[in-house]
Structure 1
Amino acid sequence: MEPRNEQDLMAAWGDSREPLLSIVCLAYNHAAFIRETLEGFLRQETDFPFEVIVHDDASTDTTAAIIREFAARYPNVLKPIYQRENQYRQGVPFSTRLFAQARGRYIAYCEGDDYWTDPHKLQIQVDFLERHRDYVITYHDAFMFNSQGVLRSPHLQGKYRRDASARQLQQARPMSTLTVCFRNLVHELPPELLGVEVLDICWWSLLGAHGKGKFLAQIKPAAYRAHEGGIFSMRSSKQRIQMSMHAYYSLARYYQRIGEQSLYEYFMVQVFSQALASISPLSKLQALAKVFQNISLNLLRRLMPNT
């Protein structure tokens, strides 16, 4: 299915021109993938206007040239941003800054190496959020694949294939980031979260202060691509654990500062769990033995009379 041209898109939107939704896309050296990503956006069939904000982070391949090609064909829809110096390497949380630049009431997020498969995705998600003010985010399923084929389908398993309470969102409940559509409420990060690499779980946590999450099973799964250039998917297991642990610790510090003691304690437990997961089974046994030894010695000291 070919993407619609700009005239057809605008004809479907009628007289309205102010975007109700902003698609935010981050790209870096995605020349082999970005065309499929952008076409997935432009296949969306909606009765409301949307804009596509594409941020190229100083790619060294032809990613920027492909974005320019699409921007020339869709000048009223696609809003490109080209960096001269790579922002990610400088620790700049540019994805969150793009939310502040987005004109839409809603944000849909998808990076330049992933793509959507359902042309009705955005209409279904926005319709739900328009009707249900107590929900702040909607999401659906995805499948993970690489150059050899499907790695895991569905991406969301078990208890995550359902709605999320506001509290569960605040606890950084996992979801497939390329599937989300949420209210445009996060325009900047608290200082504690600056420098966090796994930013998406921080967004969900901050959004949880505003409402619940809805899992929409009727939307076809999106495509999450694992490849050598992937920031998270191709990291080693130990590196992913360390990145998540840093995010949890940063969230703990944030909630401690604003006086949310229960959330502070929750994330500190997550930090401890991730720390245990990052060490070998033998080291775990040795650590537990040391803890048991210390507890036993303290108990003996209490039981023995003073000499």
Structure 2
Amino acid sequence: MNFTQFKNLFEKKEVTEYKNKAVHTPLVSICIQTYNQASYIKESLDAILSQKINFSIELLLGDDDSTDGTREICIAYAKKYPEKIRLFFHHRMNNISVSGKPTGIFNSLYNIFSSRGKFIAYCDGDDLWDDTYKLQKQVDYLRANPNTSFTYHEVKLIDKNGLLISNNSDLKLSERDFTSTQLKKAFIQPPISTWCFRNQIKDIPIEFTKIFNGDNFWMSLLGNYGDGKYLENIKPSFYRIHPASIWSTAEKSFQLKSKFETYSYLSKYYKRKKDKNLSEHFKSRANNYAKMIFKYYLKRKKMLEIIKFLKFYLQTLQL
């Protein structure tokens, strides 16, 4: 799916770009997606704009029709930094819902397709970079190591007030290098707000638009272009957990079903690409999550939910 196909499928109302003087050939495109994050977006943008770098950048700032003042903040920054910020005005009618919940898929993919840089860095509007040399270190490594697809680094969890939350042990599992093969299998996913990767994926699978949590899917795609490098010399970025976070506040059953869908559609994608090994790998992982979901509902004696998921399971895994 290229940009034109993407817009034909999902753009019901045209996205407009705020006037700017951004460079047409930046080395790095920084993708920032935001929706109703007025309490956090200034801090996020300030941290990005304070990066100490020796190359050109563009900030692709996509506001998903916020109603809390976020859009006005974005406009103020776009006016102040017209040579760096490309602000996109999105519309809720374009929003792609998954399992009845709104997502940032349209906003995110629109930024990715619009990126003109050789490399892409990623940061949600409620997350925060803390190392002013982060981008320089990541780009320097990618330039020197052509077999590396993307780089990432440590992350810490913070609450809505910016206070540290006890480290999640799962995050520590991603603090290592990954081979191309390991990336494609998407066993462990470094938080996307730490990523800087090569802008090589021009044909985005339609399956990507059908899942709520696309980070694992995207990491698997990046694995087709090289290895992953953990850079320990970068200060941690901050991933914010707050009441408006759709994923972190979602019910356990929803998170399990989202993982099931992600691996099911990865299986379908690789089957379509005629990669039998990866297709079977992700089908097996999807089945593991299906078992967890059935156990979850059985333990709570939710027989109606079991019947509903069984139908969903049979439909989804028709590979």
TM-score grouping bracket, smaller chain normalisation: 0.7 to 0.9
Q: Which amino acid aligns with 1:213?
A: G
Cα separation, 2, equivalents of 1:282 and 1:237: 11
1:110 aligns with 2:117: no
Q: Which amino acid aligns with 2:110?
A: R
1:139-167: CA deviations, max 9, x gaps? 00111121363223367545421101101
| Aligned equivalent of 2:134 | 121
| Aligned equivalent of 2:9 | none
1:95 aligns with 2:108: yes
Cα separation, 1, equivalents of 2:297 and 2:37: 41
Cα separation, 1, equivalents of 2:172 and 2:81: 40
Aligned ranges for residues 32-111 of structure 1 at < 5 Å? 32-90=39-97, 93-111=106-124
Deviation at 1:198, TM superposition (A): 0.9
Equivalences, count: 270
Deviation at 1:282, TM superposition (A): 9.0
Stretch moving more, 134-143 or 164-173: 164-173
| Aligned equivalent of 2:5 | none
- SS of residue paired to 1:194: helix
Identity %: 32
1:265 aligns with 2:280: yes
CA contact (8 A) 2:65 2:92 kept: yes
Higher Rg: 1
Cα separation, 1, equivalents of 2:232 and 2:257: 31
1:63-90: CA deviations, max 9, x gaps? 0000011111100001100113353345
Mind listing any 5+ residue stretches in structure 1 that lack a counterpart? 1-15, 287-307
CA contact (8 A) 1:144 1:155 kept: no
1:169 aligns with 2:183: yes
Cα separation, 1, equivalents of 2:297 and 2:207: 34
Out of 28, 31, 43, the position equivalent to 1:24 is 31
TM normalised by structure 2 equals 0.79
Deviation at 1:249, TM superposition (A): 0.3
1:116-174: CA deviations, max 9, x gaps? 00000000000000000000100001111213632233675454211011011111231
| Aligned equivalent of 2:266 | 251
CA contact (8 A) 1:141 1:155 kept: no
Deviation at 1:187, TM superposition (A): 3.1
Cα separation, 2, equivalents of 1:247 and 1:282: 20
Runs of 4+ displaced beyond 6 Å? none
TM normalised by structure 1 equals 0.82
Deviation at 1:251, TM superposition (A): 0.3
Cα separation, 1, equivalents of 2:53 and 2:159: 30
RMSD of the TM alignment (CA)? 2.1
From the superposition, tell whether residues 281 and 245 of structure 1 become closer, same or farther in structure 2 (CA, over 3 Å): closer
Q: Which amino acid aligns with 1:40?
A: A
From the superposition, tell whether residues 282 and 207 of structure 1 become closer, same or farther in structure 2 (CA, over 3 Å): closer
- SS of residue paired to 1:279: helix
Mind listing any 5+ residue stretches in structure 2 that lack a counterpart? 1-22, 99-104, 302-319
From the superposition, tell whether residues 279 and 150 of structure 1 become closer, same or farther in structure 2 (CA, over 3 Å): farther
Cα separation, 1, equivalents of 2:120 and 2:63: 18
| Aligned equivalent of 1:135 | 148
Q: Which amino acid aligns with 1:24?
A: C
